[in-house]
C-alpha cells in the first residue's frame, strides 16, 4: 500500500505495551476501547451505505473465491488505501502504525495490508471453521502470505444473546478442529480489535441474530 495521507493517531504507550506483551505470550490479542468511538461509528455508517448502494458482493472461500453462503454468509467490500473517505484513511493510518510497531518488535516483515468491510446478515449462519492462509501458502514457500489477521468490530449495541462470536481455536491443529476443541468465543462488540497469527489459529464466525458488521484486514509478508 502507499503511505496513508492522514498521519496515525499515536496509540497510548500502555496500550502498545499490553498489545505487544499479549501477542508475545498468546499469539493473539483482544483490545477494547482503543479505536475512537466516532471512528467506529463512522465506519459502521459507511459499511451500511456501501451495502445500500450495491457496492458489496457475496464473499467467497478458497483462492478461487467461490461463493458458498452455507460456509460463509458475509457480503464484503474491499477498501482501497486511496479511498478518499476520512474514516477509511484514518483506519489505514492506524493499521500502518500497528504494522510498524509489530515489525519493530517481532521482525515479522509485514509489508502491506489489505482490508474489507464485512456484513453478515441477520440470521446468518456465520463462517465455517477455517484458516486465513491459503493452503498453497501454508505448504510452500510463497510470497505475499497473510501473516496477521486484524478484525475491528463495528456493532455498537451488540448484546450477548445476538451471538455472532468469533470462535478462536487455541491449539494448533493440522486439520479443522471439531467444535469441542479448546476455544475462546469473542463477542463482536463495537470498537473491539482482535489480532491473531493467520497461519496459527483456526477460527469460525458463529450464527448471528442481527446484522454483524466489521472491517477485517490482513497484514501480509513480502
Binding residues for Fe ion, rule: CB under 5 A, are: 132
H/E/C letters for each residue in 9-35? CCCCHHHHHHHHHHHHHHCEEEECCCC
The secondary structure of the chain in percent helix, strand, coil, rounded to multiples of 5, reads 25, 30, 40
Contact status, residue 153 vs residue 192, Cβ threshold 8 Å: yes
133 binds ligand AKG (CB under 6 A): no
Q: Which of 90, 203, 210, 220 binds ligand AKG (CB under 6 A)?
A: 203
Q: Which of 40, 95, 115, 132 binds ligand AKG (CB under 6 A)?
A: 132
Identify the bridge partners of residue 214 per DSSP, sorted by sequence position. Answer: 118, 153
Window 69 to 128, contacts with ligand AKG (CB under 6 A): 118, 127
Contact status, residue 208 vs residue 153, Cβ threshold 8 Å: no
Q: What angle do CA 150, 156, 159 make, to 5 degrees?
A: 100
Between 22 and 105, name the residue whose CB sits nearer to ligand AKG: 22
Q: Which of 151, 154, 208, 215 binds ligand AKG (CB under 6 A)?
A: 151
Identify the bridge partners of residue 218 per DSSP, sorted by sequence position. Answer: 114, 149
216 binds ligand AKG (CB under 6 A): yes
Q: Which of 75, 124, 129, 214 binds ligand AKG (CB under 6 A)?
A: 214
Q: Which of 205, 208, 213, 215 binds ligand AKG (CB under 6 A)?
A: 205
Name the site residues for ligand AKG (rule: CB under 6 A).
118, 127, 132, 151, 166, 203, 205, 214, 216
Amino acid at each position: 500500500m502507499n503511505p496513508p495521507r492522514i498521519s496515525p493517531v499515536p496509540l497510548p504507550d500502555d496500550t502498545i505495551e499490553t498489545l505487544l506483551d499479549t501477542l508475545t505470550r498468546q499469539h493473539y490479542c483482544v483490545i477494547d476501547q482503543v479505536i475512537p468511538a466516532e471512528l467506529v461509528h463512522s465506519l459502521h455508517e459507511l459499511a451500511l451505505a456501501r451495502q445500500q448502494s450495491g457496492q458489496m458482493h457475496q464473499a467467497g472461500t478458497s483462492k478461487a473465491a467461490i461463493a458458498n453462503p452455507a460456509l460463509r454468509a458475509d457480503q464484503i467490500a474491499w477498501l482501497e488505501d486511496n479511498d478518499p473517505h476520512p474514516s477509511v484513511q484514518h483506519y489505514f493510518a492506524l493499521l500502518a502504525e500497528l504494522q510498524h510497531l509489530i515489525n519493530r518488535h517481532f521482525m515479522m516483515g509485514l509489508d502491506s495490508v489489505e482490508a474489507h468491510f464485512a456484513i453478515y446478515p441477520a440470521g446468518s449462519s456465520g463462517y465455517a471453521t477455517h484458516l486465513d492462509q491459503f493452503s498453497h501458502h501454508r505448504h510452500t514457500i510463497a510470497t505475499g502470505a497473510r501473516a496477521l489477521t486484524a478484525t475491528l468490530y463495528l456493532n455498537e449495541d451488540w448484546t450477548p444473546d445476538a451471538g455472532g462470536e468469533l470462535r478462536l481455536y487455541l491449539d494448533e491443529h493440522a486439520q479443522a478442529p471439531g467444535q469441542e476443541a479448546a476455544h475462546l468465543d469473542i463477542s463482536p462488540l463495537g470498537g473491539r480489535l482482535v489480532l491473531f497469527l493467520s497461519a496459527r489459529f483456526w477460527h469460525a464466525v458463529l450464527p448471528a441474530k442481527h446484522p454483524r458488521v466489521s472491517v477485517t484486514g490482513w497484514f501480509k509478508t513480502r
